[in-house]
A and B are shown apart, each in its own frame.
Chain A
Amino acid sequence: MAQHLPIPVVFVPRNSFFHRLHPVPKLIWAVGAIVMAFATRNPLVLLVLFVLGILFIAGAGVMRAYGRVMLVLFPISLSLIVFQALAPAFPQPWTPIAGFGPFTIYQEGIYSGLSLLLRTFAGSNFAVLLVLTTHPADLFTALQKFGVPHELNFMVSASLQLIPIVQREFQIVLSAQRSRGMRATGFGAAIPSMVPVFAGTIERVQQLAMSLESRAFGSKGAKTSLREVRASAKDVIFGLIGIVVTVAVTVLVLQYQAQLDWSKTPFMPDWVSVALVAVAALTFIAFTIALWWRASRE
């Protein structure tokens, strides 16, 4: 029976270079990308980092899974541009570019919104890559060497397993209540459908706890691991490149901070800025309506 995981950010089994890579160098890149993304607000630097992440993701053959995540996150994130353009998180005075009635778009806002958006995605791309290409158990086996407790491995994998089960359980409960004439799918359906799911989950967790305890879960003393994670030369090299790139980029962007601050520089023609805000606003609104419509249907 096919099990469709409802959460999009999970391990996608493939046999790419990135899949075969040791989890630690991937973790170095993920942390490095976040450091770099927060070291600068320059849209061009962030864009380069963003594109590099996309290239890695495409190289790992997990573009579809990534796309599914973005389908949800991207339209929501576009609101950053809209709100920032109208009310920049920046010290005044702001430079107005255009106005529609009560709304004024500011240069600093465009800059701020764009860098926040790119920062979010440039920083998270590598973390998403890590999750999509690493078996959770491998990641935690590797992390265990750094002192992360064994139980964490279990907690993560068990919760991942629980999600599709709870979702299916929810479908059964919903069917049971519809069979009792329940019409509402919105707020009115909340208690009749949530209470049984919640009670069932508690029962399930209790039995799982007993089953785990019966298999010596949480024992003191030495633990062993079925999964073996070995590092080879390519893992070391990839990890070192990650460290070098992170350090170099961070040092450079901090050194040239003044030149890279484009908050007062009109780096785009005004009409492009206006069009960007308009497109972002429309996409965000359309997406919100689509979500609402989907939820209000059965």
Chain B
Amino acid sequence: MSNPIVSIQGLSYQYALTEVPALRDVSLDIAEGEYVAVMGPCGAGKTTLCLSLNGIVPHMMAGGVEGKVIIAGQDTAQTTVRELARTVGMVFDNPEFQLSQVTAREEIALGLENTGVPRDEMIRRIDEVLGLVGLRGFADRSPLAMSGGQQQRLAIAAALAMYPRVLVLDEPTSNLDPIGKEEVFSVCAQLNRERGMTIVIVEHEVEVMATYASRVVVLSEGRVALNGAPRDVLRQVQALEAVGARAPQVTELAYRLEQRGRPVAEYPVTLEQALAVFPAEGVR
């Protein structure tokens, strides 16, 4: 890959006071504009991988590190989290835990104030990012009075206001209801499609990721187990199962049919592909 925006080179990391490493010799390049879904069971190292992308690992955590992470040419070991904040935006799993201000406007302003963005520019950016996440008109709302989906979109807006080139989301929908999940997924897809934003997202909803992601990375016990286009990775039903992940239901269907002796020309990973692979009963 020529000039990737994220380049992880042989990264190993072990938190202090733990017995096993969280990451073991992980190497991964991500090009600008990719939408990368990171999957794997609990304890596979997904969160640690996310935290290493803006230097929280190793700067804010006690532990031992080997290897390198280069973000847009900056070595994270040599750069502070605060400086990396202009390149990498972070969104965490619990929307409420990230928000601290009295109004949405001030929540978004926080990062801009910290980096000395002039007031006029700040006001312009607040309007812009509220629009991007579909929260126009919410500027004066208290984050506490918002739904989970709105809170999480506000957290995304607060990260976007810094104009990052990479947006990292660690299980952003795990605490949301279906409406909230859908809101967050569509905002991420839109940012990726329309603004070319590089997205790295940890997500368990494999059916959704199969349609949005351009790449799927499956971690297992701190290593990259599978890595590639959704169609190539998610069709490996057995390999996924072996590392404690799973394939989309339509893919599993194809696998089962094959097991039961019915040949399947091509494994589908999305609903639309499945409908193409298995023509509707009436048509058959």
Rounded to whole angstroms, the CA-CA distance of A154 and B100 in the bound complex is 8
* CB nearest to B84 among chain A residues: A214
* CB nearest to A221 among chain B residues: B116
5 further interface pairs, Cβ-Cβ under 8 Å (given A204-B94, A214-B88): A213-B85, A216-B86, A217-B110, A223-B114, A225-B119
Asked if B85 contacts A215 (CB within 8 A), the reply is: yes
Asked if A218 contacts B82 (CB within 8 A), the reply is: yes
Asked if B159 contacts A215 (CB within 8 A), the reply is: yes
0/1 per residue, B77-112, Cβ < 8 Å to A? 000011101101110101011111110011001111
CB-defined contacts of A215 to chain B, threshold 8 Å: 85, 110-111, 114, 158-159, 162
CB-defined contacts of B54 to chain A, threshold 8 Å: 214
Asked if B94 contacts A207 (CB within 8 A), the reply is: yes
Asked if B56 contacts A210 (CB within 8 A), the reply is: yes
Asked if B145 contacts A158 (CB within 8 A), the reply is: no
Partner of B116, one of A1, A209, A210, A223: A223
Report 10 cross-chain contacts, Cβ distance below 8 Å, ordered by A residue.
Answer: A161-B100, A165-B96, A207-B94, A207-B97, A211-B98, A214-B90, A216-B83, A216-B115, A225-B119, A226-B122
The answer to whether the Cβ of B117 comes within 8 Å of any Cβ in the partner chain is yes
Asked if B98 contacts A161 (CB within 8 A), the reply is: no
CB-defined contacts of A280 to chain B, threshold 8 Å: none
* CB nearest to A1 among chain B residues: B145
Asked if A224 contacts B100 (CB within 8 A), the reply is: no
0/1 per residue, B159-195, Cβ < 8 Å to A? 1001000000000000000000000000000000000
0/1 per residue, B41-58, Cβ < 8 Å to A? 000000000010010100
The answer to whether the Cβ of A259 comes within 8 Å of any Cβ in the partner chain is no
The answer to whether the Cβ of A228 comes within 8 Å of any Cβ in the partner chain is yes
Asked if A213 contacts B60 (CB within 8 A), the reply is: yes
Asked if B60 contacts A209 (CB within 8 A), the reply is: yes
- Seen from chain B, the residues whose Cβ lies within 8 Å of a Cβ on chain A are 51, 54, 56, 60, 81-83, 85-86, 88-90, 92, 94, 96-102, 105-106, 109-119, 122-123, 126, 142-145, 155, 158-159, 162
* CB nearest to B147 among chain A residues: A1
Asked if A212 contacts B100 (CB within 8 A), the reply is: yes
CB-defined contacts of B115 to chain A, threshold 8 Å: 216, 219, 221
Rounded to whole angstroms, the CA-CA distance of A154 and B107 in the bound complex is 11
The answer to whether the Cβ of A208 comes within 8 Å of any Cβ in the partner chain is yes
Given A211-B90, A214-B56: A226 touches B109 (CB 8 Å cut-off): yes
Interface size classification for chain A = 35 or more
The answer to whether the Cβ of A129 comes within 8 Å of any Cβ in the partner chain is no
Between A1, A210, A216, A225, the greatest number of chain B beta carbons within 10 A of the residue's beta carbon is seen for A216
Asked if B144 contacts A164 (CB within 8 A), the reply is: yes
Rounded to whole angstroms, the CA-CA distance of A105 and B113 in the bound complex is 59
CB-defined contacts of B99 to chain A, threshold 8 Å: 161
Asked if A211 contacts B92 (CB within 8 A), the reply is: yes
Asked if B118 contacts A3 (CB within 8 A), the reply is: no
Given A213-B60, A213-B81: A158 touches B117 (CB 8 Å cut-off): no
Nearest CB of chain A from residue B78's CB, rounded to whole Å: 17
Partner of B82, one of A3, A137, A158, A217: A217
Partner of A208, one of B98, B112, B113: B98
CB-defined contacts of B101 to chain A, threshold 8 Å: 157-158, 161
CB-defined contacts of B113 to chain A, threshold 8 Å: 150, 223-226
* CB nearest to A215 among chain B residues: B111
Rounded to whole angstroms, the CA-CA distance of A165 and B94 in the bound complex is 13
Asked if B94 contacts A224 (CB within 8 A), the reply is: no
Asked if B100 contacts A216 (CB within 8 A), the reply is: no
* CB nearest to B90 among chain A residues: A214
Nearest CB of chain A from residue B6's CB, rounded to whole Å: 15
Asked if A165 contacts B111 (CB within 8 A), the reply is: no
Given A137-B102, A214-B159, A215-B110: A226 touches B123 (CB 8 Å cut-off): yes
